[in-house]
């Protein structure tokens, strides 16, 4: 076995996909183990070396809310010292103006705000109502854009919410278009608790298209709680979406959504895309080696099937 699948392209799918790596942020924000800053920096460096075109590095959120990422400034300062402008291009989460100020102080160029599609999760994750979260984002995004930054908008709980159950697609489209209206360049649609299924993915993408939002502005962010993440990527590819969030080794979850388990593993996504002959530019062995190394720091094996199949001791 070569460590890569045979390639058998499927007609009608995109030729190239961007993998948006969220392991250092979405993965590590949920770890019980406190990961030393130097290990986080090495994680980011290794992911870049493996060819991941975008690596979301950390979050400038309140350190009491997410203590795992309280070292965000220290991490980014160290990465900038080492990588210079390459590090300033790494996206970070900022929920509000205070977070943006912290990112601007370091000269970072890409930020992401994160909205909830549901009332309950807006309150649990952001301490805001569904409506007032946008009052927090509005000045944050306006100032970010004025400073020439790129803003990504996440929407969480797009396919279901652990407290509210089913989430109507129109409600997700409303939240997403509000972020786009505020100037988000790309919208990442989050299946925060991993309940999405393939038909639902197509329905949501179509609803955005009906609202005038093309697939070129969408990214899909799956969690693999029910083992549906790759089926959902396939549905997204059939609908024409070309950006997929993934987390090395399948790390992740959300500290304010207890039912959120790991993200779609980057390795599983790379294996899948490679099999379909879709270009992604990522070195699978490099990511597997990185996840295997990180699993050693975290003290538990990666949940990714591809990591388990390919990693050697
Ligand atoms: P709050 O308590 O309402 O904050 O929290 P506040 O605005 O009332 O401010 C209270 C104090 O916190 C003030 O200090 C602020 O300066 C300070 P004081 O004046 O009292 O001394 N403060 C901050 N300090 C540092 N950095 C900041 C910051 N903001 C305020 N950015 C807040 C509101 C939004 C800050 C809080 O709820 C928070 O940090 N939430 C973040 C939760 C989080 O990170 N969740 C995980 C990410 S979302 C996710 O994972 C989903 C996603 O992956 C997609 C998917 O899977 O669906 C993206
Ligand atoms: Mg997530």
Please name each of the domains of the chain with its CATH number. 18-310 (3.20.20.70)
Q: In what order do the strands lie in the sheet containing 243-246? A: 54-55, 18-21, 243-246, 218-222, 186-191, 150-156, 110-116, 92-93, 58-59
- For residue 27, report the distance from its CA to the centre of ligand 2, in Å: 8
Give residue 254's pLDDT.
Answer: 64
Q: Is the pLDDT of residue 313 over 60?
A: no
- DSSP SS3 for 271: helix
Closest residue to atom 47 of ligand 1, CA basis: 254
Q: Could you give the residue ranges of the DSSP H alpha helices within the chain?
A: 37-49, 72-83, 85-88, 97-105, 119-126, 132-146, 169-181, 198-210, 229-238, 266-275, 284-298, 305-310
194: phi > 0 → left, psi -120 to 50 → alpha, else beta; which?
Answer: left
pLDDT given at position 34: 81
Q: How many CB atoms lie within 10 A of CB 244?
A: 25
Sorting pLDDT into bands at 50, 70 and 90, what band is 32? Answer: confident
Q: What is the mean pLDDT of residues 42-46?
A: 98
Mean predicted confidence (pLDDT) in 79-85: 97
Which atom of ligand 1 lies closest to the CA of 191? 57
Task: Give the residue-averaged pLDDT of 11-37.
Answer: 95
Distances (CA, A) of 224 to 133, 157, 193, 250: 27, 14, 8, 8
Q: Does the structure show a pLDDT above 80 at 93?
A: yes
Mean pLDDT for all residues in the chain: 95
Whether 158 is catalytic: no
Q: Identify the residue with better confidence: 300 or 56.
A: 56
Q: Give 131-177 pLDDT, tens digit per residue.
A: 999 999 999 999 999 999 999 999 999 999 999 999 999 999 999 99
pLDDT score of 1 more than 80? no
**Is the predicted pLDDT of residue 199 greater than 80, yes or no?**
yes
* Residues in Cβ contact with 284 at an 8 Å cutoff, skipping those fewer than 6 apart: 3, 4, 267, 270, 271, 274, 306, 310
Residue partners of 2: CB distance under 8 A and separation at least 6: none
Atom of ligand 1 nearest to the CA of 223: 56
Is the confidence at residue 238, as pLDDT, over 70? yes
Out of 28, 30, 59, 61, mutate this one to test ligand 1's pocket (max ligand atoms within 8 Å of CB): namely 61
**Dist. CA 7 → ligand 2 center (Å):** 29
Q: Is 235 exposed, middle or buried (0-12, 13-18, 19+ CB in 10 A)?
A: buried
Nearest ligand 1 atom, CA 112: 58
Label residue 33 by pLDDT band (50, 70, 90): confident
Place of tokens 């090395």: 248
- Confirm whether pTM is higher than 0.95: yes
pLDDT tens for 95-144 read 999 999 999 999 999 999 999 999 999 999 999 999 999 999 999 999 99
Per-residue pLDDT at 37 exceeds 80: yes
Confidence of residue 257 (pLDDT cuts 50, 70, 90): low
Give the ligand with the smallest distance to the CA of 250. 2
Q: Which of 254, 276, 282, 311 is catalytic?
A: 254
Report pLDDT for 300: 86
Task: Provide mean pLDDT across the span 47-55.
Answer: 98
Mean pLDDT of 16-22: 98
């Amino acid at each position: 076995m070569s460590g890569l699948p045979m390639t058998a392209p499927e007609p009608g799918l995109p030729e190239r996909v961007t993998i948006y790596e969220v392991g250092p942020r979405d993965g590590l924000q949920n770890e019980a183990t406190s990961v030393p800053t130097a290990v986080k920096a090495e994680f980011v460096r290794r992911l870049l070396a493996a060819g991941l075109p975008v690596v979301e590095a950390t979050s400038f959120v309140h350190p009491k809310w997410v203590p795992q990422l309280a070292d965000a400034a220290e991490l980014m300062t160290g990465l900038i010292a080492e990588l210079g402008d390459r590090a300033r291009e790494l996206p970070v989460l900022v929920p509000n103006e205070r977070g943006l100020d912290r990112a601007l102080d370091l000269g970072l160029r890409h930020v992401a705000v994160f909205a909830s599609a549901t009332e309950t999760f807006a309150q649990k994750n952001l301490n805001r109502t569904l409506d007032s979260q946008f009052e927090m984002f509005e000045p944050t995004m306006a100032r970010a854009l004025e400073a020439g930054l790129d803003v990504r908008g996440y929407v969480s709980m797009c396919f279901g919410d652990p407290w509210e159950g089913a989430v109507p697609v129109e409600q997700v489209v409303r939240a997403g278009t509000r972020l786009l209206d505020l100037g988000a360049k790309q919208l990442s649609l989050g299946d925060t608790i991993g309940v999405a299924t393939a038909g639902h993915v197509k329905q949501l993408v179509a609803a955005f298209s009906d609202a005038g939002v093309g697939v070129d502005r969408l990214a899909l962010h799956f969690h693999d709680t029910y083992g549906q993440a790759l089926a959902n990527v396939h549905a997204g590819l059939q609908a024409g979406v070309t950006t997929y969030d993934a987390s090395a080794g399948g790390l992740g979850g959300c500290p304010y959504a207890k039912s959120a388990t790991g993200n779609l593993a980057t390795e599983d996504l790379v294996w899948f895309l490679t099999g379909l002959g879709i270009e992604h530019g990522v070195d699978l062995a490099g990511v597997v080696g990185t996840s295997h190394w990180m699993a050693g720091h975290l003290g538990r094996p990666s949940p990714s099937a591809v990591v388990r199949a390919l990693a050697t001791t």
